[in-house]
Amino acid sequence: MPNQEIELNPVNFITVGTVGPKGRRLFHLQAGDESQIVSLVIEKEQARALSEAIGEMLEDLDERFPAEDEESPISLPMQTNMELRDPIEPIFRVSQMGLGYDEQRDMIVLVAQELLTVEEEEVISPDEMEPSVVRLWCDRAQIRALGTRAQEVVQSGRPDPRLNGRLVFYWT
């Protein structure tokens, strides 16, 4: 879907989760509102970086713009269920993500941009060269829960990711 733009403002839930066995997990960023669920494929390292960026951003925001009330009605149901919701049908693989802040609304936006891949023999129109973009608007409690969840999901993998499911022989 070339140049698709989706904006969920605000989201009812946002989470990171995986599908598949350890060593072959596929990471997903997923969010939804009353009308739709959006699933995106991300890399494990993107989930780790997102968690770190959220922590840094919230630390800065809490210092510069102290929150009056962390418990918004939007975030309460989300904090109890951080599992991926069905259907898990990713619309694209993410190339890059960014975070922004709307001071007037005290809302944080997570922007995800599509990874475009082109085969050598393909002929691509200029419209198809524009990546799709998803904007997910969250309150502080939701984004804090997302950062925690992303960190937990990354850490729940194999103890030594270098093994990547391979059998290692030790000779004595």
Task: Identify whether the C-beta of residue 45 lies closer than 8 Å to the C-beta of residue 157.
Answer: no
Tokens 């729940």, residue located: 156
pLDDT tens readout for residues 18-30: 999 887 899 999 9
Evaluate if pTM is beyond 0.85: no
pLDDT tens readout for residues 109-168: 999 999 988 766 666 666 667 899 999 999 999 999 999 999 999 998 766 555 555 555
Task: Identify whether the C-beta of residue 97 lies closer than 8 Å to the C-beta of residue 110.
Answer: yes
Q: Which residues pair with 97 in a beta bridge?
A: 112
Task: Identify whether the C-beta of residue 83 lies closer than 8 Å to the C-beta of residue 17.
Answer: yes
pLDDT tens readout for residues 57-109: 999 999 998 876 555 444 444 456 899 999 899 999 999 999 999 999 999 99
Phi, psi of 148, deg, nearest 5: -65, -45
Phi, psi of 126, deg, nearest 5: -60, -35
Task: Identify whether the C-beta of residue 114 lies closer than 8 Å to the C-beta of residue 92.
Answer: yes
Kindly state the tokens that stand for 21.
């066995």
